[in-house]
Amino acid sequence: MVGDQTPISSTPLFGRSTRGPTRLRYLSLRHASGEKTQLDIDVNIGVTSGPNSDTFSSYLGVFARERVFILTNSWDDMIEVDQNMLWEDALVMYTLLLLSYIAC
């Protein structure tokens, strides 16, 4: 009988709670208020630096999870339209500061 069945519990196994998905709400709030987050990029080695580099990495992870096909191996395997879409969205959220250091 359907009425005698107990409902499936939404509690996790063994009483542990899960972390849940990363949404980066504060970036969305900053974007809604018209602010951009500054991101420092070393153009010589192509690495982000500064206080917002970890946030940018998380942002790319969330963005890729939502919009990039799961079987895409690398940036070079993506079609140009998708690459442009990703760059445009990143430029809406971030102000890029390109740094170039001259080795002495």
For residue 8, is it within any domain? no
CA dist 90 and 58 (Å) reads 12
For residue 1, is it within any domain? no
For residue 71, is it within any domain? yes
Phi-psi region of 63 (alpha: psi -120 to 50; beta: other; left: phi over 0): alpha
Q: What is the pLDDT of residue 103?
A: 58
For residue 4, is it within any domain? no
Comparing 15 with 62, the larger pLDDT belongs to 62
Q: Alpha-carbon torsion 71, 74, 77, 78, what sign?
A: positive
8 pLDDT more than 60: no
- The count of domains in the chain is 1
Band of pLDDT at residue 2, cut at 50, 70 and 90: very low
104 pLDDT more than 60: no
Tell me what the mean pLDDT of segment 39-63 comes to: 86
For residue 25, is it within any domain? yes
For residue 53, is it within any domain? yes
Range of the domain at 71: 21-99
12 pLDDT more than 70: no
